[in-house]
Amino acid sequence: MKKTIFTLSLFVLLIACNQQTQTGEIKVTNIKELNDAIKNSKAGDQIVLANGTWKNVEIKFRGKGTKNKPIILKAETAGKVSIEGKSYLKFGGEYLVAEGLYFKNGYSPSNAVVDFKISHKDTLDEIANNCKLTNCVIEDFNKPKRDKSDLWVQFWGRHNELSNCYIAGKTNRGPTVRVSIAGIESINNYHQIVNNHFGPRPVKGGPSGETIQLGDSYTSMSPSHTMVANNLFEECNGEVEVISSKTNFNVFKNNVFYKSEGSLVTRHGNYATIDGNYFIGDGVNENYGGIRIINTGHWVTNNYFFNLKGKSFRSPLAVMNGIPKSPLNRYNQVTDVVVAYNTYLNCSSPWQFGVGTNIAQADVLPKSEIRSARAIRTTVANNIVYNEKGLDAIVVENDKADGVVFKSNIVDNKGVKFKDFNNGLIGASLELKKLSDNIVLPVSIPNDVEGYDGFDFNTIKTDLFGNLRQDTKGIGATVDEITASPNILDKSKYGASWYSNEIEDKEPTTYIVSTTDELRAKISEADDFDIIKLNPGNYNLDSSLVINKKININSDDKSNTTIYYTGAENTPLFELHPKGFLWLNKISLKGNMSNYAFASLKENMSSHFRLTVSNSKISDFNYVLKVYKESFAERITFQNTNILNCLNGLELSEETNDKGDYNTEYLMIHNCTFLNVSKNVIDYYRGGYDESTIGGNLELYNSTFAKCGAKEENGILINTRGIINVDISNNTFMDNPVKLVALLWGAKNNSHSNNQISNSGEIKVEENLKLKLMY
Amino acid sequence: MKKTIFTLSLFVLLIACNQQTQTGEIKVTNIKELNDAIKNSKAGDQIVLANGTWKNVEIKFRGKGTKNKPIILKAETAGKVSIEGKSYLKFGGEYLVAEGLYFKNGYSPSNAVVDFKISHKDTLDEIANNCKLTNCVIEDFNKPKRDKSDLWVQFWGRHNELSNCYIAGKTNRGPTVRVSIAGIESINNYHQIVNNHFGPRPVKGGPSGETIQLGDSYTSMSPSHTMVANNLFEECNGEVEVISSKTNFNVFKNNVFYKSEGSLVTRHGNYATIDGNYFIGDGVNENYGGIRIINTGHWVTNNYFFNLKGKSFRSPLAVMNGIPKSPLNRYNQVTDVVVAYNTYLNCSSPWQFGVGTNIAQADVLPKSEIRSARAIRTTVANNIVYNEKGLDAIVVENDKADGVVFKSNIVDNKGVKFKDFNNGLIGASLELKKLSDNIVLPVSIPNDVEGYDGFDFNTIKTDLFGNLRQDTKGIGATVDEITASPNILDKSKYGASWYSNEIEDKEPTTYIVSTTDELRAKISEADDFDIIKLNPGNYNLDSSLVINKKININSDDKSNTTIYYTGAENTPLFELHPKGFLWLNKISLKGNMSNYAFASLKENMSSHFRLTVSNSKISDFNYVLKVYKESFAERITFQNTNILNCLNGLELSEETNDKGDYNTEYLMIHNCTFLNVSKNVIDYYRGGYDESTIGGNLELYNSTFAKCGAKEENGILINTRGIINVDISNNTFMDNPVKLVALLWGAKNNSHSNNQISNSGEIKVEENLKLKLMY
């Protein structure tokens, strides 16, 4: 009896304990259950979403957890709950955690996919504090229209966290992640953005394609204290700024920037700490950036720059000129910046100062746009620069670096002389030690170079690898004790535990087709990278072929393989959909003078397309290529191809709202012939003056234009207005009834050489093109 | 024996201790000894300056004390060491204290009187940290020329202190105290400016007359963390800003602003804390200000505003409109400001929003000058407003206050209706409790008004008097427990222990004179405020009378008391020197048509003059009054006086560098007659567009002008270009051969009424005067 009572008591006790400490685990299978669960949730609860697809779910995750008992919203199995369709997740409250979710095949109907605030019109917003999104993936969750702006993760409040997530594929307008700090509720936020894998963000073709933006110019006076650490940024190519820091006291630590076509930019705001990051290039691509400095009081320490070929805005260290008394949204002068204990290995132009100086444009720009204020009170000390092949200049002075103190920087320039700034750059011969493919460290630092002891340098206590700097603090990013490779590109260290963006190589399938029906069927059936091979013959199509995957269409001989397109007027033979990549080789295409050879969708181009046409012949179309507004291709290539008897050529000029957007990053025309194309022979447009957009690229080489442009209203054969990089070389222009072959923009990277022009107007260069200011 | 040994041991021990802790006291009697002592000083030393006058001493006080053993430089007797002539004191090093010094009868040959830095051209500056100036006085230590700028105390470095000093009388250009934070050595400085008595700083007559300036617009993004606490600001009238906060995170606590013609202004920078200060007016003077807000994130709490009549820029709370995307040196938008728990007693216009809106001037000003951005995300809560006489508006909206949330503010407006902003202002009937003349507190707060619990309001833990706010935090500056008077105007609580600026009343001496020699002798002999009385008769002078003190010269009857001045051409009968105040009554003055009646010094007007002429007659001068460049009078008055047959009248127009300066604050012409004055009848000029300078005042009442202006080149009789406040009323203008009587500035406070004009041109009002922008 006694024992029974004891047992019973124990049982009651256990139940009591259970009720008190057991976290309620509530499994939900649909949005109604989820909403109910959220509504009834209390600290310590775990709401479990059943595996499967959750479509069109607008999740408002509100509640009040505690530090020790957060409320958790999680996938039954991490990665097996996909959030699709028109969906979002908003946090409002305290100590809420969401984990294991997979956002794909959809987009947010709101301003953000994940938002740390639930907004209300008439009552106070519910702002999240101490909340977390972790172990999730957001992939290709693009709004259908590129111009429609949103964010994928928007921070508000304080002490929120984005950790161990994989986020990739954003193509529409707007930074991928933004920390918003408008409002005192969101200052001094100490948010954590850590251990994430930011996967490829394709070139956006215009501004507002940052991967992370911390604040904006209007809040650039506010203390943010956001921590961005231990993230991998892989191919984050959206625009020139991978990270745009626009508030005060942000910290960027131990991140890896891998083949990312942009820079970490202290765009607005001050007192950033940029410590121990890796910027890894490939020795070729000039678009991979480093750190671009604007404003006051930043410390750039212990960073490692490898094989970067960027220059100017994209230099490993680009220190900009400011605008005197700058407007709030423009460029403050650089002051009080410290660049110390960094290592630059085989970079083309390690340090540039006076970047963005535009004194020469004083005539065409208002005074409030002229960047003439050089960096002052700035220290560059104790860095190492190693160049396998000596550079003419270690420091490039776009404007004088007379406000910069150089001290105790060691440079191995392989004997090539360089300006030493009062012995602030000291030549030396260094050995290299290779830790891994991307981590090669100069060693054997000469003992007789004493490190400079700048103001507050005693606060720099560790090196790139976190090793303690001893009393003699050393020079360069690492103290002279080589450790094992940090394995910075081991992707398992970043992002969601259940997801990898590494795809297995797959052997492409080749489908051989002989009829129009087969052609259409196999295109539909094929997987990415498969090949459709056309047997010789004529293929007659009366409606478009949809290209919504990566596909290769070719034949052995264009002269006997022709696709005749008789589809309706203004419809394309090849309709390029989002993610449609088409490689076309050795095919003849022939239209009916009213339809198109290639076109993007008129709308809902939620992702990029790509087009490569080689060794082909295109004739009798209204348009060869029509790219509609808000469509974007990273690359459009025509090579060894004849284009003839078309009303219009390549038309990429619909981004006329002059916000800096354009329709393709690279337009490559090599070894082509254009004969009898009446207008828009090449029409490629970018509008809006924005000094930091550096895109739009036209390469026009070795091609021939004859009898083209007869109906061109503006009288220009090759229209490239606003495109930053244009090279027109080794072409032949004959008998084109136009006023100008091209009008180039001298102040930008426009050039022409070795063209044969007869009876075709001329190529004119205008130094300063007047454009609408974007700001 | 044992005892002896013990005693001996104790003695040895004591000596040992003594050597270790005894501070070396080094007495010095001249600059060489002082320099040697400084050179040899070590932590713990006291360098004692012998009592007496130290003239032309440039003291570079460098050394390295420690927290427990500072190096002290002190007067033998506090206040008995005066530093005179061309002298300064500069600190360079650590833990240095200077105390007991009296700076007077001189000026700094450098940029500062006391500087917390010793600058060098080619080597690093020696910056002071943890240094202190205490128990000192700086009085009238003005550079001879008003335009020559300097500072009396300039902070650099970190953790320096200005405490228990009395500082008064600055008239030349430049703030009295400035915290400079250019350079990372000086950010996060946590300087202390505490327990000082800032005595009268006269109106400067133009900008750059602040008493304290914290940083500048160029460093306005920097964290300063300067503490300004427990100071008395008495008649700090230099300009519209008594304190100009231009950096971040400054704290203003428990200061008393007493009859100071200016405001505490958050001019640049953000996140100021303005807590528990007293702003005391006299119920009459409209120039006494309060707190003027620009920028982001300031908290205005627990302050007390008494009897202030200021409006617009000078309102107790003036919240300005910003300029969208403002240039760095102009006006950022107000955002995220909290105004809570303040008490306003009998103020004319407690709260003004949209101050400085100038949308109407969009035609004459560049876009970058238009203040159209209203305050946003701003909270005004839990304040008390009590008006003995009800006001029409508690909140004046110069522009809409639609970005401001008003909550739980209690207003006793004596039944007069007011706009209540969605019940954010709640009418009530309050009783008053008088603690002292200037501290009268509304009590009997209605219980049913619940205090608003705004974001982070829980951080407001105490009230004006430092009493803890309990859970129910109350409303208004004090929790409802009346304590004894805080004796805020007990001057012994502020400034140097050995100095008081209270002067005993002294009965003036009257000297009766009958001859020219007596007149000259007695003027020389007289003390301030003495009276020289002229017996009837003629006084013939052939050289100037120097007025360098406060003196009253009169007779019983101007008709039989005449001073004939036969001095050289372009010399004045009365030569007004710095600190020369002249009251002239019932005297006739007669010149030789080539000399002047009154003039300031041509240069070295290191302090102000004043002139009042009553019931007199002035004739046959080249100039009646000639005020030279860099001379300034707070007040110039002519009343009941006839001015006739002069080539020039009142000439105050030499401040032509257009930096906002002018020559007198008040020019008062009442009941005068001007007859046959050829030009510059009244010529009063201020140049440069500077929206916050609100000075220059002309009152021209009840006067007659006849046959004047015949030779006036610009065709304007009364020239007031650039003067902000002009009133021309009840005058008669007849037969003056000019084009205009006056050209008034409509957008400013210029007015005219009830003038009789015949055969004299007209009075024209131009709404927007084009002026050179000062910024």
Q: What is the DSSP string of B590-617?
A: E--SSSEEEEE-SS---S-EEEEEES-E
Nearest CB among A217, A222, A775 relative to B297 is that of A222
Q: Residue A326 is nearest to which of B270, B327, B336, comparing CB atoms? A: B327
In this predicted structure, what is the pLDDT of residue A18?
37
Residue B312 C-alpha, separation from nearest chain A C-alpha, in angstroms? 26
Contact residues on chain B for A333, CB-CB shorter than 8 A: 218
Interface contact flag, B377 A455, Cβ < 8 Å: no
- From chain B, pick out residues whose CB is under 8 angstroms from the CB of A297: 184, 187, 221-222
Buried b (16+ CB within 10 A) or exposed e, A599-611: bbbeeebbbbbbb
**Residues constituting chain B:** 775
Burial readout A742-756 (b: 16 or more C-beta within 10 A, e: otherwise): bbbbeebbbebeebe
Residues in chain A whose Cβ is within 8 Å of chain B: 182-185, 187, 217-223, 248, 269-271, 295-297, 325-330, 332-333, 335-336, 338, 368, 377, 455-456, 775
Residues of A in contact with B459 (CB under 8 A): none
Minimal C-alpha gap between B239 and chain A (Å): 23
Burial class of residue A329 (count of CB atoms within 10 Å of its CB; 0-12, 13-18, 19+): middle
Residue B391 DSSP SS3? coil
Q: Percentage helix, strand, coil, to 5, in chain A?
A: 10, 40, 50
3-state secondary structure of A310: coil
A221/B221 CB distance under 8 A: yes
Of B773, B664, B764, which Cα lies nearest the Cα of B724? B664
Q: Which of B666, B659, B649, B603 is nearest to B629 (CA)?
A: B603
Tell me the two tokens of residue A270. 């001050």
Do residue B184 and residue A297 have CB atoms under 8 angstroms apart?
yes
A403/A599 Cα distance (integer angstroms): 53
In this prediction, residue A485 carries a pLDDT of 87
Contacts with B372 from chain A: Cβ below 8 Å: none
Residues of chain A where predicted confidence (pLDDT) is lower than 70: 1-23, 690-693, 771-775
Q: Which helix (H) or strand (E) holds A59?
A: strand A58-64
- Partner-chain contact B325 A329, CB within 8 Å: yes
- pLDDT computed for residue B772 by the predictor: 67
pLDDT at B16: 41
CA distance B290 to B304: 10
The answer for B122, left when phi > 0, alpha when psi is -120 to 50, beta otherwise, is: alpha
Token duo for residue B144 = 């001879």
Asked if B746 and B710 count as a contact pair (C-beta separation under 8 A), the reply is no
**Dist. CA B319–CA B337, nearest whole Å:** 10
Specify the DSSP class assigned to residue A509.
Answer: P
Question: How far B248 CA lies from chain A's nearest CA (Å)?
Answer: 9
User: Which of A183, A325, A338 minimises the CB distance to B377?
Assistant: A183
Two tokens at B771?
Answer: 């002026």
State how far the Cα of A46 lies from the Cα of A99, in Å rounded to an integer.
11
Q: Which residues of chain B have pLDDT under 50?
A: 1, 8, 10-22
**A264-294 as b/e, with b when 16 or more CB fall inside 10 Å?**
bbbbbbbbbbbbbbbbbbeeebebbbbbbbb
Could you report the per-residue pLDDT of A630-647, keeping only the tens digit for each?
999 999 999 999 999 999
d(CA B716, CA B762): 9
User: Searching chain B, which residue's CA lies closest to the CA of residue A270?
Assistant: B221
Q: How far is B155 from chain A (nearest CA, A)?
A: 18
Q: Which residues of B touch A338 (CB under 8 A)?
A: 184
pLDDT of B447: 83
Helix (H) or strand (E) holding A40: helix A31-40
Own/partner pairs for A282-286, CB < 8 Å, 24+ apart?
A282/A307, A283/A307, A283/A309, A283/A346, A284/A309, A285/A259, A285/A261, A285/A309, A286/A310, A286/A311, A286/A314, A286/A348
> B577-610 burial string, b = 16+ CB within 10 Å, else e?
bbbbbbbbbbbbbbbeebbbbbbbbeeebbbbbb
Distance CA A420, CA B218 (A): 30
CB contact (8 A) between residue B336 and residue A184:
yes
All structural domains of chain A with their residue ranges: 341-502, 539-766
Q: Which residue has the tokens 């976190």?
A: A466
Across chain B, which distance is largest between two alpha carbons, in Å? Answer: 115
Nearest residue in chain B measured CA to CA from A775: B325
The DSSP code sequence of A214-238 is ES-GGGTTSB---EEES-EEESB-S
pTM of the model: 0.92
Query: Residues of A with CB below 8 A from B217's CB?
Result: 325
Q: How far apart are CA B555 and CA B549, in angstroms?
A: 19
| Contact indicator for A13, A38 with CB cutoff of 8 Å | no
Nearest-5° Cα angle at B167, B163 to B168: 160
Residue identified by tokens 């082909």 is A616
Query: The domain B2-493 is classified under which CATH number: 2.60.120.10, 2.160.20.10, 3.40.50.720, 2.40.50.1070?
Result: 2.160.20.10
Q: For residue B20, give how far its alpha carbon lies from the nearest alpha carbon of chain A (Å).
A: 30
Q: Pairing between strand A633-639 and A664-670?
A: parallel
Q: Which residue of A has its CA nearest to B329?
A: A325
Chain A residues closer than 8 Å to B222 by CB = 270, 296-297
Q: State residue A4's pLDDT score.
A: 52
Backbone angles phi, psi at A359, to 5 degrees: -55, -35
Backbone φ, ψ for residue B318 (5° rounding): -115, 110
Consecutive H or E run containing A26:
strand A25-28
The closest CB to that of B327, out of A184, A368, A455, belongs to A368
pLDDT of residue A69: 97
Kindly list the distances between the CA atom of residue A584 and the CA atoms of A505, A517, A610, A625, B250, in Å, as whole numbers in the listed order.
22, 18, 11, 14, 66
Question: ipTM of this model?
Answer: 0.89
Is there a contact between B221 and A270 if contact means CB atoms under 8 Å apart?
A: yes
Rounded to a whole number of angstroms, the distance from the CA of B642 to the nearest CA of chain A is 51
Residues of B with CB under 8 A from a CB of A: 182-185, 187, 217-223, 248, 269-271, 295-297, 325-330, 332-333, 335-336, 338, 368, 377, 455-456, 775
Could you say which of A269, A327, A335 has the minimum Cβ distance to residue B368?
A: A327
Cβ contact B179:B155 at 8 Å? yes
Contact B221 A328 (CB under 8 A): no
- Ordered DSSP codes for B129-183: ES-EEES-EEES---SSTTS--EEEEE-SBS-EEES-EEE---SSS-SEEE---S
Per the CB < 8 Å rule, is B184 touching A377? Answer: yes
CA dist B243 and B252 (Å) reads 10
Residues paired with B352 in a beta bridge: B318, B396
**Count of A-B CB contacts under 8 Å:** 83
| DSSP codes joined into one string, B343-365 | EEES-S-SEEEEET--GGGTTTS
Which helix (H) or strand (E) segment holds residue A652: the answer is strand A642-652
Q: CA end-to-end span of chain B, whole Å?
A: 85
Inter-chain contact A248–B221, Cβ cutoff 8 Å? yes
Residues A117/A111, Cβ–Cβ less than 8 Å: no
| Residue A89 and residue A59 in contact, taking contact as beta carbons nearer than 8 Å | yes
